[in-house]
Structure 1
Amino acid sequence: MKTFLRLQYALIIFLFLATIQVGAQEKNNFELSKNLEIYADLLRQLNLNYADDIKPGELNTTAINAMLEKLDPYTVYVPESKREDFELMTKGEYGGIGALIQQQGDYVIITEPYEEFPAQKAGLRAGDQIMSIDGESAKGKTTTEVSDKLKGVPGSECILLIKRYGDSLTSKVTILREKIKIPNIPYSGFVSQGVGYISLSQFNPNSAQEVRNAFSQLATDQPLKGLIIDLRGNGGGLLNEAVDIVNIFVPKNELVVTTKGKTKASIQTHVTRNKEIDGSIPLVIMVDNNSASASEIVAGAIQDLDRGVIIGERTYGKGLVQNIVPLPYNSKVKITVAKYYIPSGRCIQAIDYFQQDGPMAVAKAPDSLISAFKTRKGRTVYDGGGITPDVNVESRIFNQISGDLYSQNYIFRFVNDFVLKHDSIASIDQFQVTDSLFDAFKSFVSLQSFDYKTETESLLSRIESSSTRESYHAAIGDQLGVIKELIKEEKKKDIDKHRSEIEEMIRVEIITRYYYQKGKIKAALQSDPEIRDAIELLENKNQYDSVLNGTYIAKIADTTHLE
C-alpha cells in the first residue's frame, strides 16, 4: 500500500511539473507570436507613413542587433552583406587579394602581402599606398571600406592604382582575386635540438589534420624529445577540431569535453575516437589571456588528463558553445546554445551572462562561487575563470619608446627605406641589425618629429593638475619644472637604453619583408623569452615531471623566466 501511495504521489508531482512546463511554453509561444506581429506591423507602418523614405533592411539590422545586445556577446546576427567576413571567421577563407592593410593618413596602405597569394604575385609590397580601386578613389576611405572593395568573387579582376613608398609616380596593377585560405598553422619547425614547435592560430576545418601532418613531419626530420603547441592569441573555432587535436596525444575513448544547454541536442559528450599518434612525448601547451574557447578545451583537457604542461598566462575564460543557424535570404545567426565542461568536470567560463538579476547584467564569477576540481593525478584545478597555467609566465611588455616607435610606424617606414636599397638579405638565422644599421635608424628618427609620453610624464601631469586645483602649484611649480627638464634629458638616452628590444623589432620587420609570415614567426621565436622557458622545461625531465606530479615550486625571484 505504501509503495502504491509513493508511486501515486510521484505521478501527481510529475503531472504537476509537466503541466507547469507546458503552460510556460504556451505562454512563451503566445509572447513570441504577439511581438512578431507587433514588429512586422510597426515596420509596415513606418514604411507607409514616415515623413521620409526609410531603409527597411538597415532598420531591421539595427533592431536585431539591439535585441541581441541583451544577450551574451557571442550571439550575433550575420546579414548577407557580411557573408565574406563570416566565411573568414568560421572557415578562415575569403575571396580577395591576400594582404594585410592599415590606415595611414588619408589612404590605406599594404602592410604585409601574404606569400604566394595574388597581392604578392602581382608585385605589391609593404608600404604601397592604395590610391584607387576599380577606378574609385580610395582617399579618405577607412580600412573596412577598402577591405570590402578588395574582397570579391575568386577569379574576378581588381584594378588598383598604387603609389609606391618613396616614389611620386603611380602605377596601375590588375589582380585576379583568389580564394584566400588563412593557414591554421602559420609556422612549424624546431626551436631547439629535438624540440618541435607548432603555431596554431585558429581551429578552422582541417586544423587537426594539419597538426597531425606537422607533427609527423617534425618527427621525420629529427628525433623529438619534446613538442610545443603555441595557442597564444588563438581565439578558438570548431569544437570537434579541438577534440581531434587532443586525440593526437591521448588514447581512444577519453572524455575531452561535455556540452550542456537547454535542449536535448545541446547535451553532448565528446570523446576521442581514434588511437593516439603519440601518448608519451613531453608536451607543452602555450597560452595567454587571448587564448579562448577551443584553445581552452585543448589546454584544459591536456591539463585535466595530466598529459602535458600548460605554460603562460591565465586564458580568456570562454566556456560557451555556439551553433550557426541559417535564416532566410542568406543571413545567419550564431547562437550560444550551451556551456562546456572539460574532463575534471569544471566549466571555465569567466563571466556570468545568464544568472544575473535584470536584463543581461554581466559579472565575473566571485571567489565564493569558484570550485576546486582534481586532475587525473590529483592536482587541484579551478573553474570559473579560464585555464590557470601550470607554470605562470608573464607576457613580455615592451618599453614605452619601443612600443611608440612601432605603433607610430617609424620602424615600418625605416624598413621601407631599407627595402628600397636592398634586394635581398642573409638567411633568417644569420641576419642581424648591425651597429651601422641601428645608427641609421637613430638618424632617421632624429629627422622626424617623434615624441612619446612616458608613464612618469603622465603621472607628473596629473600631479601638476592636482597641485593647481589644490593651490599647491605656487609652492612646488619650480620643482616640477626642474623634474620635467630632467625627464626630457633622460628621454634622449632611451633609444640606446632600450636598444636590444628596438633592434629586435627592426630585425623582425626586415625579415618579414623578405621571408613573409613564416620568416616573421621564426625570427620572433628566436628572441621570445616564453619560448625559452618552454624549451628549458622540456629539456629538464625532472622539472617537467614535477609539474605533472604536483611537486613543482616556482621561484618568486623571476616571474618572467623559469628558474
Structure 2
Amino acid sequence: RPCLLLALLAPASAFVGGASSLQTRPFLSGSRPTGPASSGAAASRLIHATNKQRRAWDLYVKQVNGEDSEPRLDLLSRVQQFLYKPVNITVPWESLKIAGLGGLGGLLLGSVLCITLFLTPYGPVSSGIERSLELFENVLVDLDESYVDEVDVQQLLQQAISGMLRTLDPYTEFENKEDAVTLQESVSGKYGGVGLVISGETKLAQQERNRSGRNQPNRNIQVVSAFEGYAFDAGMRPGDTLVSVGGTSIEGLTVDSVRDLLRGSPDTEVPVRFTREGVNLDGKGVPQPLEVILKRRMVKVSDVKLATLVGSPADGVGYVQLSGFSPSAGKDLAAALHALDMTAPKGLSGLILDLRGNPGGLLESAVEVSAALVPQGSDIVFAKGRAFGEAKYKSASAPLRRAEVPLAILTNSGTASAAEIVSGAIQDTDSGVIVGVGKGRTFGKGLVQNVRPLPYDSALKYTVAKYYTPSGRCIQSVNYGGTSRELVASSETTVLDAVSPDPSGAPVNVDVIDLDDTEAADEEGPLSSVEMGGGGVRGAGYTARAVREKDRKEFKTTHGRVVRDGGGIEADVVAPEKQTSSLEVALLVQNVYFDYAGHWSATHAFKNTDRVVDDATFNDFRRYVVEKQRAGDYDLLALYQSQFKSLESALTEGGLQNLATGKLDPIKRSVLDEMMRGFDTQKGTIREALENAILSRYLPESMLLKRQLTTDDQFKLALSIVKDRPRYDSLLAGPAADAAEDARSGDAAVPAFMEAA
C-alpha cells in the first residue's frame, strides 16, 4: 500500500523536514484532539476547525509555495492539516543545539504520523466529498461564529445529517446517543427496566406543539401493557395513570422523560405512584394515588407471546404467535414447538404460526425461524446490493416441523420485512398455506438495513441491499427516490424493520424497547399501489412510487404455483376484514375503554366467566360515553378537528364569518350523531374491545390472547384448513395436480392464490 510505504518513510522524512524547516520556515506542532478513533474522525476535526486555524494554515502554505502560488497539498500535508494545529515559530538556523531539537521533534512527529496511518482506516475520498465537506465546514463555522444569536452546533449538525438521510428512504436514519441505545435494545430484545409499556406525549410532539403555539395540556402518561413476570406481578395494569416515579412528579413530563425515570440499573427498586379509575376514591369520587415498588431487572422480551394447543387437545393443533425477530426468536420458536409437541397426546398434527402485526427484526433470526419450518436444503432468501454483494441463505439442518404436519401462516398488512422473509420462504417452497385478511397482502418491505456504530455513541442505520424470496421475487411494494442510489455497506448488524418512527411521536412508547418497529406498522400502515394509484408521493425529501400492477412479474413456487413480486406476500386464502368505524378509533385513541374498565371494576366483582360484557354492561358503557362527551371529558370529534378548522379558516378568509361562527355547530352535531350510530352498527367489535379492556385488569397478556382467538375469524379459517387435509393439499398443489383434478371434475382451473373464504 502507498500508505504503508509512507508510514515507513514518514519518521525519516519528517526528521529531515523538521531540520530544514528551521532555516526559513515555520513547522506544525500541537497535540492530537481527543475523541474516538474512526474513519470519520478526520472529517469531524475538519468540521470543528476554527477560522483562525484555517487562515494560519493558508498562510503557511503560501509561504511554502510562494506568495502567489496555489496550495499544493499532498497526502502527508492533508493528514497534518487534520491532526495538528498550525503555530508560527521562527528559529535562528545558527543555533545548532536548537536545530538538533528541531530534528528530534520532526522524528517524533513522523512517528506519531506513522502510528496514525496504521490505526486510522484509510480509503479514497472523492473530490466531490472533499468539496462538500469544505462547503459544509464554512457554513457551520460561520453560523457558529457570526449568526445573530448563539446556535447549538451539535443540534445543527444532527439536523443536517438527518435532513440528508431523509432524501433517500424512510429507513435510513442517523441515531444519536439516545436513539442508538433504543435501537440496540430493539435489536437485542433486552433492556434494564420494570416491564411497562407506557403512552403519552413524546418529546418531538411536545416541541412541535410549543412551536405551533397550541395551548393544551400534556397527555397523561398511561400504562398500555404490563409484562408478565415483571410489572404485572407487582400489581400494575393497563389503563393505570402514572403520578410520580421515584418520588418525582411526572406532571408536564414527556413519555421519553418518564421512560428514563423508570429505567435504571438492574437489582434497584423504584416506587411508582399511580391512579386507577374507580379505585381508592375520596369523598368526591376522585381516585387517589396508589403506590407499588417495582424492581428493575434486565427484562427479556420474548418474541413468542403465546404458544398453546387450540381446539380439542386430541386434534393436536398448535398455535404460536411470533411478535418479532430478536436474536432469540429461533430459540424461542424451537422451545415453543417442542413444548407443544410434548403436550399434544399424539404429537403435533397441525401448526398455525401467527405473524400478524410482526414488524420484522434481524435477518439471521428470520433465517433460523424459516429453517425450522421448510425442508432441509431449501433456499430461504438471498440479498443483493452494490457493496453488500450477494448473500444466499439455505436450510442446512432438518426442520423442527415434520413434513406431514400441515402449516398455516397468519398475515396482515402489518406483517413486514423479516416476517415477510419467513412467509415468502414458506410460500415459495410450498411448505404451508398463507392465510391473509382483507386485500390479502403483507406490508411489502424488501429492503435490508445495516447498523453501523459511529463516534460519540451514535449510529447510522442505512439501506444496503434488497432481498429476494426463493423463487427470485423482490416483494418491495414501494420504490423510493433514494433507494436506487448506490449505498455503501457496513459490516455491522443487519436489521429488517417495517417503518421508521413517526417524527411527530408515536402514540405508544415503551419504557424499554420502542419496537420501531413495534407499533409503527399499525400506525402508518402499508403504502399500497391501490392507495397511491400507482403515482409518486413525495415524503420527507424522498419520492415514493408504488409498484404498478402491470409492472409486477410472475414467478413459480416449487410446485409451479404462480406468485408475483412488487406487492408484498399475497395470501393463498383470504378472510374478510372487519371494518373499523370512526367511533371505535375515537374510543381507542382517547382511552375510553380503559377508563370504563376502571369504572366497571369499582362496581363489579370479577368472576372468571366466559363473557363479562352483557347487554346491560354494554348499554351502561354507551351511557357512560354520552355523559362524558357532554361533560367535556372526551372529545369524540377530535378526529375531525383539523378538517373543521380548515373549513372555518376558508370561510373566514372568504368573508363568510357568519357561517364560520354560527353554522358549523349543527354540522358538528350531525357528525357526532352519525358517529354514535356506531354503537349499533359495530356493536360486536365494540363489545369485544370493551371486554378485553376489562379483562386486562385481571388477566395476564397470554390468557387475553388465547381468549381473543375465540372471536378471531381469520384464525378460525386457518384452523379449518390445517384440519382439512384434502383442502390443504389442494391449496398447495401445482398446475399438474390441478389439471388432473379438473379432468376428473370437469371444472375450470382457478389459481390457488385467488381463493377467498
Q: RCO higher in 1 or 2 (8 Å CA, sep ≥ 6)? A: 2
SS, match of residue 267 in structure 1: strand
**Cα 1:276/1:148, change in 2 over 3 Å:** same
Q: C-alpha offsets along residues 8-30 of structure 1, whole Å, 9 cap, x if unaligned?
A: xxxxxxxxxxxxxxxxxx99622
Compute the TM-score of the two structures, normalised by the length of structure 2.
Answer: 0.62
Structure 2 vs 1, CA of residues 29 and 493 (structure 1 numbering), >3 Å: closer, same or farther? Answer: closer
User: 2:258 aligned with 1:146, yes or no?
Assistant: yes
Q: C-alpha displacement at 1:35, in angstroms?
A: 2.3
Q: Is the 8 A contact 2:302 2:332 kept in 1?
A: no
Residue 517 of structure 1, aligned match among 701, 726, 744: 701
* Pick aligned residue for 1:508 from 687, 692, 701: 692
Pairwise CA distance, 1:515: 1.5
Per the alignment, do residues 510 and 314 of structure 1 end up closer, same or farther by CA in structure 2, a change over 3 Å counting? same
Cα distance in structure 2, aligned partners of 1:486 and 1:262:
57
Q: How big is the shift at 1:555? A: 11
Would you say the 8 A contact 1:266–1:337 is kept in 2? no
Q: CA deviation at 1:234?
A: 0.6
Q: 1:241 to 1:187 in 2, by over 3 A?
A: same
Q: Give the alignment partner of residue 326 of structure 1, picking from 448, 453, 466.
A: 453
SS of alignment partner, residue 411 of structure 1? helix
1:102 aligns with 2:282: no
Summarize the Cα distance change of 1:32–1:536 in structure 2 as closer, same or farther, 3 Å threshold. Answer: same
Post-superposition offset of 1:258:
0.9
- 1:415 is matched with 597
Alpha-carbon distance change, 90 to 405 in structure 1, aligned in 2, over 3 angstroms: same
Match of 1:84 in 2: 181
Aligned to 2:350: 226
Residues 87 and 513 from structure 1, CA distance in 2 versus in 1: closer, same or farther, beyond 3 angstroms? farther
Mean Cα displacement is larger for which, 230-239 or 411-420?
A: 411-420
Aligned pairs for 1:45-60 (under 5 A) are: 45-60=142-157
1:16 counterpart residue number: none
In the TM superposition, residue 380 of structure 1 has moved relative to its aligned partner by 0.8
Task: Give SS of 2:304's match.
Answer: coil
Aligned amino acid, residue 620 of structure 2: A
Aligned with 1:169 (options 288, 300, 305): 288
Distance 1:237 1:536 in 2: 30
- Counterparts of 2:637 and 2:672, CA distance in 1: 10
Identity %: 32
Aligned to 1:10: none
- CA distance, structure 2, for counterparts of residue 439 and residue 368 of structure 1: 50
- Counterpart position of 1:35: 132
CA contact (8 A) 1:84 1:94 kept: no
- Picking from 189, 212, 226, the partner of 2:334 is 212
Aligned to 1:131: 243
Note the alpha carbon deviations across 1:467-507, whole angstroms, 9 max, x for none: xxxxxxxxxxxxxx999999988877653454322221122
Instruction: Give the conservation status (yes or no) of the 8 Å contact 2:359–2:414.
Output: yes
d(CA) in 2 for partners of 1:95, 1:323: 24
Following superposition, the deviation at residue 94 of structure 1 comes to 2.2
Q: CA deviation at 1:173?
A: 4.5
Candidates 547, 563, 570, aligned match of 1:381: 563
Task: Mark the CA change 1:528 to 1:261 in structure 2 (over 3 Å): closer, same or farther.
Answer: same
Equivalent position of 1:160 in the other structure: 272
2:383 is the counterpart of 1:259 = yes
Alignment check: 8 A CA contact 2:187 2:326 kept: yes
The amino acid that maps onto 1:94 is Y
Over aligned residue pairs, what C-alpha RMSD do you find? 3.9
What pairs up with 1:340-355 in 2 under 5 angstroms? 340-353=467-480, 354-355=483-484
The within-5 A match list for 1:483-502 is: 494-502=678-686
Q: How far apart are the structure 1 equivalents of 2:130 and 2:172?
A: 22
Shift of 1:169: 3.1
Contact 2:430 2:558 in 1 (8 A): yes
SS at match of 1:447: helix
TM-fit CA distance, 1:454: 13
Taking the aligned partners of 1:490 and 1:83, their CA distance within structure 2 comes to 46
AA aligned to 2:434 is I
Residues 367 and 422 of structure 2 are in contact (CA less than 8 Å); yes or no, is this contact kept in structure 1?
Answer: yes
**Cα separation, partners in 2 of 1:115 and 1:31, compared to 1, 3 Å:** same
Instruction: For structure 1, list consecutive stretches of 5 or more residues without a partner in the other structure.
Output: 1-25, 467-480
Tell me the secondary structure at the aligned position of residue 705 of structure 2: helix
Match of 1:339 among 463, 466, 488: 466
Q: Residue 627 of structure 2 corresponds to which residue in structure 1?
A: 447
Q: Distance in 2 between matches of 1:527 and 1:204?
A: 29
CA deviations 1:5-61 (Å, max 9, x no partner) are xxxxxxxxxxxxxxxxxxxxx996222233234434543443333343332222221
Contact preservation (8 Å) 1:509, 1:520: no
Which residue identity does 1:113 align to in structure 2?
A
8 A contact 1:400–1:454 mirrored in 2: no
Q: Could you tell me how far 1:402 is from its partner in structure 2? A: 3.7
CA distance in 1: counterparts of 2:676 and 2:165, whole angstroms: 51
How many pairs were matched up? 522
| Bigger-Rg structure (1/2) | 2
Aligned mate of 1:275, from 370, 387, 398: 398
TM-score by length of 1: 0.82
SS at match of 1:85: helix
Q: CA 1:252 to 1:485, structure 2 compared with 1: closer, same or farther past 3 Å?
A: closer
Instruction: Determine the C-alpha separation between the residues in 1 that align with 2:381 and 2:676.
Output: 54
